[in-house]
């Protein structure tokens, strides 16, 4: 099939039919931030960090398929400020204490906060009471750090296909719970994948924290988005 | 009419505290107290957190010697993961030692050059506006630069071992997360002057000489200032050598008799008790065998050089012999001699850093070891300010259920109160006027112990201190807040 022509902030780009804006932008060396999206998972567009503007309308770039002639606005100041405020809201509505979090340096939320130069949030901290479930032998679930992106719910399944994690309750009360029976029998690989799929430090493979020294962690080596912008994310 | 003096904040110390001194109608001191008025609660909020997070979390107690908390917690967690004393790989233990001795170097340099030297070089009665490191730099630029660069060198060692100069992540339960690259090693060994270890050793020697010279010229004051008998406690190596990283508990009394010896610190609760008093957030530890009244003790440089038999590095050992000869081998109970002891330790730290840098084990690849997990662990270390106790219990889900921290400054609580009382009785009592210089003497006494009040109460913030003068009826007559 023919390539699709579109622009991002005026830059001429080519995409493939069926690609979302995020995928096509990445292939053209343009970074659009994502949090709830993870390559290989069906996008749900829940966090809205990837919001772009097309024809004056806001849309989630992770779910919107590419259309011929699209003129995508990605880095307009008002869009960037909106993304920054979304990151701030995620920080204040949880208990994100980076100094002692073992995901520091590997955390996508923290990395985005650095990218958007978040110094102090403009919203008041909510300091919610959240639970820690450390009952599984290999995994720990720390609700304080969860941003309800549902990546774990979509990605982590037991051998028989059953979901290991599930969203419980609704609205601001929504929380992620782990199926204790399934979690009790997770393999090392499954536990590692669960930790890696989590963009923050909410799901942890137990007893492995801080094994990578400062300076060699994922975002110490390359700030978030820099791989795409250098063209290595194609 | 009687008076009450309040010194608040106490300056050039770490943390937040105040001193109150009560005088009767004749101006005679009736009571003096050193209060620590911060509260933090680390022991509570670490509960529920996973055990491997503790070394990184609890070091946030302090920005001056976080490495001590980091390593004490890591040592406790070593026990929990079945890799307690003697079981770490050579690379892991030596990297931790390098980190710790780097910290001793920077912290001792900070304390002497930045915090205490202004009192000696500019005088206790000097204008407070110049009685600081800037004043020292104006008087002796080279000396101030040496102090700054000694500290910097120690911080660079911490950066290379923990990943950050302050609040790094090097130690993990059962080991360390990196070794020292040959490039990092060579930078410390052969770096362009002045930032190499030979220069640091030389400057440390000069610092010991500086204090000895000051002592020669001000013998009566240095020897007599806040001198009082006490017990002394520290870790010593199994063979009695000075060791900041690991050892057994030893305590001696004012005459040098061993009150404790060769005690495995996993059993510290059997030998150390803690008392609380209503007027301070800082607890009062004591040796159980001597009881609450007589069992208080000093920790830190003065105590360490009183408990150890020798220093296992040649230049520091030579200075140790001179130091010990001054008291005929008996324990040294002179508060201001703490500075002398601290500078000998500074020299020892620099020597040990060089010895470690030359050790090929630091380039080893085996970083972590683990064994059979247990539910409880105690980690002790000799922090710059003295013996630091960390004790944790965990549940079956790997969450911390109990934490008890006895911080160096807490151990020195009673001695600092005694030192304040000594100054109150000798410098303030029955004097017609209380001058700023007199109040600074109170601070000089506290400062000798290099207290970290934030750590001691596990509290946040810089350390202001106040002195209040109260009359016999409790009216505040004079209050100094800085």
The pLDDT assigned to B14 comes to 63
B147 touching A, CB under 8 A? no
What confidence score (pLDDT) does residue A168 get? 95
Contacts of A127 in chain B (CB under 8 A): none
- What is the number of other CB atoms lying within 10 angstroms of the CB of residue B306? 27
A45 shares contact with chain B (CB less than 8 Å): no
Contact yes or no for A209 and B163 at CB 8 A? no
| Count of other CB atoms within 10 angstroms of residue A211 | 16
Query: In this structure, what token pair is assigned to residue B352?
Result: 């040990």
Please state the domain extents for chain B.
228-333
B61: burial class by Cβ within 10 Å (0-12, 13-18, 19+)?
buried
Measured between CB atoms, does B170 come within 8 Å of chain A? yes
Tokens standing for B319? 């200075």
Q: What strands, in cross-sheet order, belong to the sheet with A57-60?
A: A11-15, A4-8, A71-73, A51-54, A57-60
Domains and CATH numbers, chain A: 4-75 (3.10.20.740), 86-209 (3.30.70.20)
CA distance B179 to chain A (A): 10
Query: Do A100 and B57 make contact, defined as CB atoms within 8 angstroms?
Result: yes
pLDDT in tens, A142-153: 999 999 999 999
Contacts of B55 in chain A (CB under 8 A): 210
Nearest alpha-carbon partner for B299 in B455, B159, B423: B455
Query: Residue for token digits 């050579």?
Result: B90
CB B9 within 8 A of CB B481: yes
Nearest to B56 among A140, A208, A210 (CB): A210
B229, with CB counted inside 10 A (0-12, 13-18, 19+), is: exposed
**Taking CB atoms and an 8 Å cutoff, what residues of chain B touch A140?**
50, 397-398
| Cα–Cα distance list, B134 to B148, B157, B481 (Å) | 11, 25, 21
A145: chain B residues, CB-CB within 8 Å: none
A166: left (phi over 0), alpha (psi -120 to 50) or beta: beta
- d(Cα B441, Cα B358) in Å, to the nearest integer? 43
Model confidence over A111-144: pLDDT tens digits?
A: 999 999 999 889 999 999 999 999 999 999 999 9
CB of A204 less than 8 A from some CB of B = yes
Task: Please list every residue in chain A whose beta carbon sits closer than 8 Å to the beta carbon of residue B48.
Answer: 132
Cβ of A214 and B162 within 8 Å? yes
Cα(A185)–Cα(A176) distance, integer angstroms? 19
Checking DSSP bridges between strand B17-23 and strand B466-470, what pairing results, if any? parallel
Q: Does A100 contact chain B (CB < 8 Å)?
A: yes
User: Are B177 and A209 within 8 A, CB to CB?
Assistant: no
C-alpha–C-alpha distance, residues B362 and B159, integer Å:
15
Q: Where are the alpha helices (DSSP H) in B226-336?
A: 268-271, 291-294, 301-307, 314-326
pLDDT at B458: 42
Please indicate whether, in this complex, the C-beta atoms of B172 and A135 are within 8 angstroms of each other. no
Contacts of A216 in chain B (CB under 8 A): 178
- Cβ pair B452, B465 in contact under 8 A: no
A158 or B376: whose pLDDT is higher? B376
- Listed by number, the residues of chain B in 31-90 with a beta carbon closer than 8 Å to a beta carbon of chain A are 48-50, 52-53, 55-57, 60, 81
CB contact under 8 A, A209 and B172: yes
Q: Are A206 and B50 inside 8 Å of each other by CB?
A: yes
Q: Does A129 touch chain B (CB under 8 A)?
A: no
- C-alpha A122, offset from chain centre: 22
- Would an 8 Å CB–CB cutoff place A210 in contact with chain B? yes
pLDDT at B291: 94
Q: Which residue of B has its CA nearest to A215?
A: B163
Whether residues A211 and B172 touch (CB distance < 8 A) is answered with yes
DSSP B171-239: EETTEES----HHHHHHHHHPSTTSSHHHHHHHHHHHHHHHHHHHHHTHHHHHHTTB---EEEEEE-TT
Residue A233 burial (CB count, 10 A): 16
Whether residue B50 and residue A212 make contact (CB cut-off 8 A), yes or no, is no
DSSP code for B295:
-
**What is the DSSP code (8-state) at residue A220?**
H
As a dihedral over the C-alpha atoms of residue B91, residue B94, residue B97, residue B98, rounded to 10 degrees, the angle is -90
Q: Which residues of B touch A132 (CB under 8 A)?
A: 48, 399
| Interface contact flag, A134 B168, Cβ < 8 Å | no
In terms of phi and psi (left: phi > 0; alpha: psi -120 to 50; beta: otherwise), the region of B82 is left
pLDDT at residue A234, as a whole number? 45
If we measure between CA atoms, which residue out of B187, B113, B193 comes closest to residue B145? B113
Compare CB distances from B398 to A134, A210, A214 and report the shortest one's residue. A134
Closest CA to B120 of B204, B203, B217, B202: B217
Q: Which of A144, A201, A213, A216 to mutate to test the interface with B (most CBs of B within 10 A)?
A: A213
CA distance B319 to B311: 9
Q: Does B173 touch chain A (CB under 8 A)?
A: yes
Region label for B246, one of left (φ > 0), alpha (ψ between -120 and 50) or beta (otherwise): beta
3-class state of residue B374 by DSSP? coil
Q: Decide if B177 and A207 are in contact by the 8 Å CB cutoff.
A: no
User: Whats the size of chain A, residue-wise?
Assistant: 234
- Note whether B177 contacts A210, CB cutoff 8 Å: yes
Prior bond of B182 cis (ω within 30°): no
Q: CA-nearest residue of chain B to A141?
A: B50
Residue of B327, B326, B338, B318 whose CA lies nearest to B234: B338
| Res. A4 pLDDT band, cuts 50 70 90 | very high
- Along the 482 residues of chain B, how does pLDDT read in single tens digits? 677 878 777 766 666 678 888 888 888 888 888 877 666 678 888 999 999 999 999 998 887 889 999 999 999 999 999 999 999 999 999 999 999 999 999 999 998 998 888 888 888 888 888 888 888 899 999 999 999 999 999 999 999 999 999 999 999 999 999 999 999 999 999 998 888 999 999 999 999 999 999 999 999 999 998 899 999 999 999 999 999 999 999 999 999 999 999 999 999 999 999 888 877 777 889 999 999 999 999 999 999 999 999 999 999 999 999 999 999 999 999 999 999 999 999 999 999 999 999 999 999 999 999 999 999 999 999 999 999 999 999 999 999 999 998 888 888 888 888 888 888 898 888 887 778 888 888 888 888 887 765 555 443 333 455 667 676 777 777 776 64
Query: What is the nearest CA distance from A15 to chain B, expressed in angstroms?
Result: 42
Contact partners, residue B359, CB within 8 Å, separation at least 6: B94
pTM: 0.92
Cβ neighbours of A99 in B, within 8 Å: 56-57, 60, 167
Is A56 an interface residue toward B (CB < 8 Å)?
no
What is the rounded distance in angstroms from the CA atom of residue A23 to the CA atom of residue B443?
A: 65
Do B177 and A211 make contact, defined as CB atoms within 8 angstroms? yes
Q: Which residues contact B318 (CB under 8 A, 6 or more apart)?
A: none
DSSP one-letter string for B77-141: HHHHTT--TT-S-HHHHHHHHHHHHHHHHHHHHIIIIIIIHHHHHT-TTS-TTTSSHHHHHHH-H
Does A213 contact chain B (CB < 8 Å)?
yes
Cα distances from B176 to residues A54, A88, A158, A179, in angstroms, run: 50, 34, 34, 34
Query: Residue B13's pLDDT is what?
Result: 64
B471 phi-psi bin (left φ>0, alpha ψ -120 to 50, beta other): beta
Tell me the nearest-neighbour CA distance from A130 into chain B, angstroms.
12
Check B172 against A210: CB less than 8 A apart: yes
Rounded CA-CA distance B112/A224 in Å is 43
B291: left (phi over 0), alpha (psi -120 to 50) or beta: left
A102 chain-B contacts, CB cut-off 8 A? 52-53, 56
Q: Which of residues 353-412 of B touch A (CB under 8 A)?
A: 368, 397-399
Residue B54 corresponds to which tokens in the numbers above? 């503790």
């Amino acid at each position: 099939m023919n390539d699709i022509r579109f622009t991002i902030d005026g830059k001429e780009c080519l995409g493939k039919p069926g690609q979302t804006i995020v995928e096509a932008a990445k292939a053209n060396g343009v970074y659009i931030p994502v949090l709830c999206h993870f390559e290989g998972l069906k996008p749900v567009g829940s966090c809205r960090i990837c919001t772009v503007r097309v024809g004056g309308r806001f849309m989630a770039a992770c779910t919107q398929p590419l259309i011929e002639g699209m003129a995508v606005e990605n880095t307009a100041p008002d869009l960037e400020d909106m993304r920054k405020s979304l990151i701030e809201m995620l920080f204040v509505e949880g208990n994100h204490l980076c100094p002692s979090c073992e995901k520091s340096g590997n955390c996508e939320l923290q990395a985005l906060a650095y990218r958007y130069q978040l110094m102090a949030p403009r919203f008041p901290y909510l300091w919610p009471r959240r639970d820690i479930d450390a009952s599984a032998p290999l995994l720990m679930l720390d609700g304080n750090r969860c941003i309800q992106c549902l990546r774990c719910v979509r990605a982590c399944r037991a051998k028989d296909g059953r979901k290991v994690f599930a969203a419980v309750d609704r609205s601001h009360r929504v929380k992620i719970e782990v199926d204790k029976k399934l979690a009790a029998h997770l393999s090392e690989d499954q536990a590692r994948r669960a930790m890696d799929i989590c963009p923050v430090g909410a799901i942890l493979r137990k007893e492995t924290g801080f094994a990578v020294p400062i300076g060699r962690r994922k975002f110490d080596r390359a700030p978030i988005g820099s791989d795409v912008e250098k063209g290595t994310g194609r | 009419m009687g008076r009450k003096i309040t010194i608040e904040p106490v300056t050039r110390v770490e943390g937040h505290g105040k001193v109150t001194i009560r005088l009767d109608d004749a101006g005679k001191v009736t009571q003096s107290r050193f209060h620590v008025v911060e509260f933090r609660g680390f022991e509570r909020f670490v509960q529920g957190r996973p055990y491997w997070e503790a070394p990184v979390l609890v070091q946030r107690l302090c920005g001056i010697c976080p490495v001590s908390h980091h390593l004490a917690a890591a040592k406790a967690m070593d026990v929990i993961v079945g890799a307690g004393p003697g079981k770490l790989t050579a690379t892991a233990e030596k990297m931790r030692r390098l980190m710790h001795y780097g910290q001793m170097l920077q912290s001792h340099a900070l304390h002497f050059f930045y915090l205490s030297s202004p009192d000696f070089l500019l005088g206790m009665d000097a204008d407070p506006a110049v009685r600081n490191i800037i004043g020292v730099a104006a008087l002796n630029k080279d000396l101030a630069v040496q102090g700054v660069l000694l500290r910097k060198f120690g911080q660079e060692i911490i950066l290379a071992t923990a990943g950050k100069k302050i609040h790094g992540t090097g130690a993990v339960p059962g080991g360390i997360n990196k070794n020292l690259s040959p490039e990092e090693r060579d930078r410390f060994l052969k770096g362009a002057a002045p930032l190499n270890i030979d220069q640091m050793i030389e400057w440390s020697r000069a610092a010991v000489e500086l204090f000895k010279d000051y002592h020669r010229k001000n013998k009566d004051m240095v020897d007599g200032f806040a001198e009082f008998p006490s017990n002394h406690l520290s870790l010593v190596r199994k063979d009695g050598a000075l060791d900041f990283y690991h050892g057994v508990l030893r305590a001696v009394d004012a005459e040098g008799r061993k009150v404790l010896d060769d005690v495995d610190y996993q059993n510290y609760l059997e030998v150390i008790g803690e008392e609380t008093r209503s007027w301070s957030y800082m607890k009062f530890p004591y040796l159980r065998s001597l009881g609450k009244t007589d069992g208080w003790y000093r920790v830190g440089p003065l105590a360490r050089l009183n408990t150890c038999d020798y220093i296992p590095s040649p230049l520091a050992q030579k200075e140790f012999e001179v130091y010990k000869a001054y008291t005929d081998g008996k324990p040294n109970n002179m508060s201001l001699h703490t500075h002398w002891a601290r500078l000998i330790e500074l020299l020892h730290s620099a020597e040990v850093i060089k010895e470690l840098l030359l050790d090929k084990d630091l380039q080893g690849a085996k970083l972590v070891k683990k064994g059979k997990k247990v539910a409880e662990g105690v980690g002790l270390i000799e922090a710059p300010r003295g013996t630091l106790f960390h004790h944790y219990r965990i549940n079956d889900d790997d969450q911390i259920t109990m934490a008890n921290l006895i911080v160096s400054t807490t151990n020195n609580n009673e001695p600092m109160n005694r030192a304040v009382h000594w100054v109150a009785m000798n410098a303030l009592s029955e004097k017609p006027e209380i001058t700023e210089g007199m109040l600074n003497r109170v601070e000089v006494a506290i400062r000798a112990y290099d207290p970290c009040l934030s750590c001691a109460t596990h509290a946040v913030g810089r350390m202001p201190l106040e002195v209040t003068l109260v009359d016999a009826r409790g009216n505040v007559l004079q209050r100094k807040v800085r």
